[in-house]
């Protein structure tokens, strides 16, 4: 089979991976990590990291542009990859593979691949093989978009929006990485006592909500969506009256963690066997209390949030 002898993965090794390593190295350095630590996270030499950091990112963007990846997309992917490698080597590989398969399924790599091998002018193997992932992602984007419209149309939802704002996250297909979690970039904010999303939903838009939802799905894979709302004594009473089964985290043991909520939830889930419908985060130093409401889809999660908002307003 010709495709087997001329795989597009050559472009991964020659163009995509080196470019991503440089952009991720620059991002991690901006976050305060040492060259030695960056080298360890990226699985490359310190000399290579030094070269990445001393070079302008123009070459990386150019290499990715050849693969039909825009600068904005490059920055989004490098942000996702940086967060993943900080979680460990396995998450890094998983996220990199997910991004690459998405590019293959979208047809983004086809032009550069056909330029390398003109005999593949009529090849659509990657689109056929990986395109299903994009279909699942499109469905999740549509779901989150519908949920956002429900929240924006509500006259009461704004009263349960926390200071950190709100986001809706939904898993695409069997979702195993943040690249497979759709959310709203920049969150949903309060504008004139109404909820308002500043940008349309997209995959990989929220590292925090992705972590929470992926952890939830490790125990309850049927739950595909979550939304956060404020938590106070009044909301505690509303949640109790609604009969929601809850897990409670907070008062963190991870003061230096990049995401204390996710760290605390991960630890709790190690010993939890009972079902749950919501996660109460009581907060901590610098962390605002929130409730993460869960659902089998974005619409279901939004409907639950709106029901609680109406009850909260009437309480």
Report whether 186 contacts 160 (CB < 8 A): no
Identify whether residues 303 and 233 lie together within a single domain: yes
Question: Helix or strand or coil: residue 24?
Answer: helix
Same domain, 193 and 79: no
Q: What is the pLDDT of residue 134?
A: 73
Q: Is residue 207 situated within a structural domain?
A: yes
- Per-residue confidence at 6, pLDDT binned at 50, 70, 90? confident
Out of 88, 123, 158, pick the residue that ends a domain.
123
The reply to whether 119 and 178 lie within a common domain is no
What would the mean pLDDT of 18-38 be, rounded to a whole number? 94
Report the share of the chain in percent with pLDDT over 90. 64
Between CA 159 and CA 190 the distance in angstroms is: 9
Domain enclosing residue 261, as ranges: 133-314
- pLDDT per residue as tens digits for the range 59-73: 999 999 999 999 988
Domain contains 179: yes
182, 235: one domain:
yes
Predicted pLDDT of residue 72: 87
Residues 14, 75, single domain; the answer is yes
What pLDDT, on a 0 to 100 scale, did the predictor assign at position 258?
74
Same domain for 226 and 204 = yes
**What pLDDT is recorded for position 141?**
92
What does the pLDDT read at residue 143?
Answer: 94
Structural domains counted in the chain: 2
Q: What is the pLDDT of residue 164?
A: 92
- Whether residue 195 lies inside any domain: the answer is yes
Co-location of 101 and 151 in the same domain: no
For the stretch 98-112, pLDDT in tens is: 889 888 988 889 989
Q: How far apart, in whole angstroms, are the C-alpha atoms of residue 86 and residue 65? A: 26
- 228-237: average pLDDT: 97
Question: Is residue 94 predicted with pLDDT exceeding 50?
Answer: yes
- Helical (H) or strand (E) element with 246: strand 246-249
Last residue of a domain, one of 60, 89, 123: 123
Q: If you average pLDDT over every residue of the chain, what do you get? A: 90
Higher pLDDT among residues 253 and 268, named by residue: 268
Is the pLDDT assigned to residue 218 strictly greater than 60?
yes
Q: Are strands 278-281 and 246-249 parallel, antiparallel or unpaired?
A: parallel
Instruction: Check residue 145 and give its pLDDT.
Output: 94
Same domain, 107 and 193: no
Average pLDDT over residues 137-153: 93
**Most confident listed range (7-16, 59-68, 224-233, 248-257):** 224-233
**Of 252 and 285, more confident:** 285
Kindly tell me if the per-residue pLDDT of 302 is higher than 80.
Answer: yes
Could you tell me the end-to-end alpha-carbon distance of the chain, in angstroms, rounded to an integer? 68
Least confident of 69-73, 233-237, 294-298: 69-73
CATH number of 168's domain: 3.40.225.10
pTM: 0.70
- Residue after which a domain boundary falls, among 123, 141, 156: 123
Within-domain flag for 107 = yes
- Mean pLDDT in residue range 222-231: 97
Q: Are residues 105 and 222 in the same domain?
A: no
Whether 115 is in a domain gets the answer yes
- For residues 82 and 205, membership in a common domain is answered with no
- The reply to whether 240 and 175 lie within a common domain is yes
Spell out the residues 6+ positions from residue 63 whose beta carbon is closer than 8 angstroms to its own.
15, 16, 18, 19
- Read off the pLDDT band of 257 (50, 70, 90): low
Whether residue 297 has pLDDT greater than 90:
yes
Q: Exposed (0-12), middle (13-18) or buried (19+): which is 25, by Cβ within 10 Å?
A: buried
Q: Are residues 191 and 102 in the same domain?
A: no
Q: Which long-range contacts (CB under 8 A, 24 or more apart) does 62-71 make?
A: 63/15, 63/16, 63/18, 63/19, 64/15, 64/16, 64/19, 64/20, 66/15, 66/112, 67/11, 67/15, 67/16, 67/103, 67/108, 67/109, 67/112, 68/108, 68/109, 68/111, 68/112, 69/103, 69/108
If phi > 0 it is left, if psi is from -120 to 50 it is alpha, else beta; for residue 298 that is alpha
Region 5-21 average pLDDT: 90
- Please state the rounded mean pLDDT for residues 47-66: 93
pLDDT per residue over 148-203, tens digit each?
999 999 999 999 999 999 999 999 988 888 889 999 998 999 999 999 998 999 88
Largest alpha-carbon pair distance within the chain?
69
The answer to whether residue 128 sits within a structural domain is no
């Amino acid at each position: 089979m010709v495709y087997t002898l001329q795989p597009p993965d050559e472009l991964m090794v020659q163009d995509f991976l080196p470019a991503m390593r440089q952009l991720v190295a620059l991002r991690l350095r901006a976050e305060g990590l040492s060259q030695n630590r960056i080298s360890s996270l990226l699985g490359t030499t310190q000399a290579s990291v030094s070269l990445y950091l001393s070079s302008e990112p123009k070459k990386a963007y150019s290499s990715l542009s050849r693969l039909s990846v825009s600068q904005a997309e490059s920055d989004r992917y490098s942000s996702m990859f940086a967060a993943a490698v900080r979680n460990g080597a396995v998450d890094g590989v998983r996220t990199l593979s997910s991004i690459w398969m998405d590019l293959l399924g979208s047809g983004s790599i086809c032009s550069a691949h056909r330029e390398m091998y003109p005999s593949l002018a009529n090849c659509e193997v990657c689109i056929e093989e990986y395109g299903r992932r994009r279909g699942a992602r499109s469905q999740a984007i549509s779901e989150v978009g519908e949920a956002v419209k429900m929240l924006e149309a509500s006259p009461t939802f704004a009263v349960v929006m926390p200071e950190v704002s709100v986001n809706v996250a939904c898993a695409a297909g069997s979702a195993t990485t943040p690249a497979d979690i759709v959310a709203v970039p920049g969150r949903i904010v309060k504008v004139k006592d109404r909820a308002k999303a500043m940008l349309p939903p997209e995959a990989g838009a929220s590292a925090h909500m992705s972590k929470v939802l992926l952890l939830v799905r490790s125990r309850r894979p049927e739950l595909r969506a979550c939304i956060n709302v404020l938590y106070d004594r009044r909301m505690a009473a509303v949640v109790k009256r609604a009969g929601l089964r809850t897990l409670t985290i907070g008062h963190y043991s991870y003061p230096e963690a990049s995401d204390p909520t996710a760290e605390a939830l991960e630890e709790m889930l190690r010993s939890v066997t009972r079902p749950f419908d919501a996660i109460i985060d009581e907060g901590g130093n610098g962390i605002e209390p929130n409730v993460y409401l869960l659902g089998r889809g974005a619409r279901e999660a939004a409907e639950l949030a709106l029901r609680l908002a109406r009850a909260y307003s009437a309480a």
